Structure 1
Amino acid sequence: MLKKEQVNEIIKIAKKYLKGLEWEIGIDSTNTGTTRFANSIIHQNMGVHRPFMWVRIINKKRIGSSTTTDLSEEGIKNLIERAINLSKSKYAPKLETSLPKKTKIEKVSKKIVISPKEREEAVAKIVQVCKKNNLNAFGVIHTINSSLAIFNSNGVNNYALLNWTYTTITAMNESASGFSFAIEKDFHKIDFKELANIACEKALMAKNPKDIEPGKYTVFLEEPAVAEIISFLAWLEFGAKRFYEKTSLISKKIGKKITGKNVTIYDDWTNKLTLGIPFDFEGVKRNKVILIKNGIAKGVVTDSYFAKKLKMKNTGHSLMQPAPWGPFPLNLVFEKGDKKKEEMLKSIDKGIYVTRFWYTRVVDPDRTLITGMTRDGTYFIENGKIAYPIKNMRFLINIYETLENVKMISKEQKYYGEELFGVVAPALVIENFNFQSKTEY
């Protein structure tokens, strides 16, 4: 990561080669400490410093873009020269809107530096718990310090410094596995022994799984499973690009019912569970955007380009330009309900308990049809209790239809995601969840 003073020095150098031009510069600098473990042994312990800089040049309304990881003066000069040359091409894209106006936004978290030894000690706690349960530990601990700065020739001068720790644990033996995770801004708030206990409990409960037939079941979805579904809905539905192209379902449903009335989803970087950067990759202040409220489709997120195209407000959700996906909500929140998870489980006479999904893929984007597999803790529910483990199942669902059938929402929420994108998700009870086929494991 780079301090604000270091960023200012880089911008000072860049300006020497940008005279008379419109420009935008982004600098993303990340320090990552990674400890991976498998079969209860650390097999990778590394640190990576990744500086990354990009520039957009606007030259007679033509755009030239380039990137570099070389932040020396020579590297910066070469970066700008490449972008200028690209902007002179007759094939260079045209800028259809102006660069964002002057802003100065800063969010500086106290830097938390975690040593390799601290990560190793955390792994030791995890392995100790797994060994007591005759299970092997697999997983990763990432500790991240990251800075992001966005500047432009109109006076945008934004800087953020963030810390977070991403941890996953899979406890395994020959026939079963269990999963747990944590994403926290402060490494020291993670109880690694408790996480390991959760993973071990799931693995021990998953021994000798039984076959059940595919079909439609009531499901209890833990937070990671819910986050997986909502993240795919975000890619398909919540950005302005597909809205503008009229290829998303939400583009035809604004102001109309699109899910069950107990479903509210919004994007809000200020939610305490998100990692939360206050500005987007064009330097525009992020706004809270209601996407679905009480089952009614309300809107999508925009950037400067699509805000102009759609004659809508720029909500501050640009990705790094050029952005083939268009604007995107990085801080999604599925609004919590009023039920305890124990109460939700007791409400299910017969159903399936899902810890998480994997290998999820889009089948038909126009119908929000996705498929994927259960993993690391799938159980059959009888009379409000987990009765026995079952073999993993493949699901095939229409996301909006699935959200029509939400019957209960937990009051507890967890943040689940990767890098700067994630979902604050509750657990859900959903009826008529479609399992298309079964597996042999």
Structure 2
Amino acid sequence: MMAHASLNPDPPTDHFYRRPLPAVCTAFCSPEGKSIFREALNEGYMENFFPLASQFRTQEEPAFCGLSTLVMVLNTLEVDPGKVWKGPWRWYHENMLDCCVPINVIEKSGITFDQFSCLAVCNTLNVRSVRADASASEDEFRQLVKRVSKGSEEVIVASYSRKGLDQTGDGHFSPIAGYHPGRDLVLIMDVARFKYQPHWVKVHSLFKAMHDVDKDTGLSRGYLLLSKSRSLPTVLFRLTSNLCVNGVQSTNVVRFITDWKEWLVTSASSTNSNKILDTAVNQLVKFLNLKESNLSMALVEVVGFENISMEHKYAIKQILEALKNLPVYQVVRSCIPGGDKLESETHVPVDDGPHPEKFSMKPKTWHYVTMLLLMWPYRDDEGSFGRCLDQLMADQLKASASELLQNEVTILRQQVSSVLGFVAVCDACPCKQKAAEAAK
């Protein structure tokens, strides 16, 4: 007689169905978890739970905890991405968050604390980041959690080591969706829902888990306070993948950034604004090496124009015209003969008036270089070209009275500043320094 195969064979050891929560965590849907929720709700500390719960998602890749958490926050705060997700819908999705780190890199390695901050800034969020190092205060974190949990305009994201909560794995990002004052508990909305369900943990335990040092950076983790910026999405320009924070910029781009930054801190040779502008534009054109590589388009590119609205097309037209009317544009044009031939291949068809007449507008090299001058985050060194240019660009931008152009410049400047700031942090990272020393 043949033996019957077991109806409940041992599960395979090379893949898993979820993980049980450790004792230091209380499952949100458990009887105790529900009781904690009701008590916290009655105390008024669950106001940010509902908008977050309405956008709760499961990360699509094992290393996407940071991206999925950020997508959840962006959609919770009702940030318009300004570009289509699918069909006619503008909506945030993980594959749209590639302005600081390429998606294929994130799929393999995830993102660090600073990369998360950079991505948040690049997607028009206000960001306050705090590393949970020796100078950080647990009580300050607790008071912030209390305040944010009573409203719906801000979100706190924790970057912590799972090991600190007796969980498997290591670095993780999660939004905090509530607080229980009597038990000093926070609600973790874990986007790795295939692994752990939402759970309550002690503030002290989470803060301690944030102290853990990230082996990739040599720095402690921490938390970020995120809120919606009043800025609108960019209409025409965006940063290219050459301006990213994963250290894979081309040699030409790295050389340009280094040379341009070093020149900007040198002392201005004149107090005459026209001479300063002429000198600066000529120097920038030299560094951009337009004849061989046209680095202006390697740093800034135009957004995609598939299926854009008529309103969007007119906004593009207004930005191009506003740029063309700036004095700096005329200086750039005089310094770059034939700049109309070194143009973007992107056509922007616009239907004009009740009887549509199509015409095309192409951002030219003059537009790109002018935008680069306007958006650069200049340092405030006394008497330097950078300080003079910062004031000159601010004055011209204000005089233009174009809110669309002002918004475009503000967002791009914030993004460039964030990327360059992260690169500086990355260059100073102990892990990178050790690697450089080992390579000697």
Q: TM-score range by the shorter chain?
A: under 0.3
Q: Looking at CA atoms only, which structure, 1 or 2, has the larger radius of gyration?
A: 2
TM-score normalised according to structure 1 size: 0.25
Provide the TM-score with structure 2 as the length reference: 0.25
Give 1 or 2: higher strand fraction: 1
